[in-house]
Amino acid sequence: MRTLLGWLCAAVVLVALALAPFYVGPYGLGLLVGMSGYVTLASAWALFSGRTGYISLATVAFFGLGAYTVAALNETLPYPLVLVIAALIGLAVALVVGISTLRLAGVYFVIFTFGLAELIRQLVTWYEINVTGTLGRYIFLPIGPEHIYWQLLALGTLTLLFTWWVGRSRLGLALRVIADDEVVASHLGIDIARTKLALFAVSAVVITLVGAIQAPRWTYVEPAIVFNPTVSFLTLIMALLGGASRLWGPALGAVPLFLLFEWLSANFPNHYSILLGVLFIVIVFLLPKGVVAFIEDLFPRRQVAPSGTASSSKRFREEVRP
């Protein structure tokens, strides 16, 4: 009964959000577009990093690839086909990067993903200057902000539904074992490399589509705009604030932080990045598991088995036992 009520509430909220462009003004619609984009980015980031413990700073690399694909192809191909091509490019890059780097761990993976974003930005810049003879492209598409918002809302909904399914499947249980201890996971017969690669690829495709869908918001696109590192750091902070391992955690972290970011950038344009850095440190120290986990610890619903390698691996063995 509680589950059914939760689904009904979620459906009502989704319908209300879908109708929002009809009763909010242009400024409100702009905020909704930004919030829906970051909710989707944070949810997609948490889909991989929140369940494997691999902290990725490559968000802006895929976001920028999606946006630049639209900028490069919008005058020659239909918009739906451009989105498909952007998703395929994101998938190809994710597979190449995943196969090459997902054996790294800890700070090495963080450094590599940060370097990847900068590498792609420099490659796109070099190509534009030396091959096309320009630095930037114009986007002229008959797509209004309400259409961008509805696309992001649909993509965010699909991302949350996929995350919900992963959390209740054998894949989600395998990911929890991997996050606890990869040695134990390998002894249980889990294909660690393939599992991480599959989830990384799905996460990257969603992030690429967010960049592609939001590209028509800008009339002019250049590498410095769409490969801005702030996108990666904001996404990371949002997911951690809400709780990267919880279904609704990234969304609950993205909405208030996006509004705070808008206020800080408008009132403290020269210092907001410093303030965001301080906020990140505060979140890591005071809310290491996120707001959702903090609330659950304050108001536990029922006694559950302790999490950890032993309990996760035991549940995995029970599920795969013939």
pLDDT, one tens digit per residue, over 158-216 is 999 999 888 888 777 777 777 776 777 777 777 777 888 888 999 999 999 999 999 99
Q: Which residues contact 141 (CB under 8 A, 6 or more apart)?
A: 70, 74, 79, 216
Q: What's residue 297's pLDDT?
A: 63
Q: Which residue(s) pair with 138 in the sheet?
A: 220
Residue 137's DSSP bridge partners are 221
Which three-class secondary structure state does DSSP give residue 220?
strand
Q: What is the pLDDT of residues 106-153, one digit of tens each?
A: 778 888 888 888 899 999 889 888 888 777 888 888 898 999 999 999
Residue 304 has pLDDT above 60, yes or no: no
Greatest alpha-carbon pair distance for the chain in Å reads 64
| Chain centre distance of CA 252 | 13
Count of CB atoms within 10 A of residue 274's CB? 11
Cα distance between residue 227 and residue 125, in whole Å: 10
Q: Are 245 and 51 in contact (CB under 8 A)?
A: yes
State the average pLDDT over residues 235-254. 85
The C-alpha angle with vertex 274 and arms to 269 and 277, in degrees rounded to 5, equals: 130
Return the structure tokens found at 90. 């994101």
Q: Which amino acid is at 216?
A: P
Residue 103 has pLDDT above 80, yes or no: no
Is pTM beyond 0.75? Reply is yes
Quick: pLDDT tens for 10-64.
888 889 999 999 988 888 999 999 999 999 999 999 998 888 878 888 999 999 9
Token pair listed for 130: 């030396």
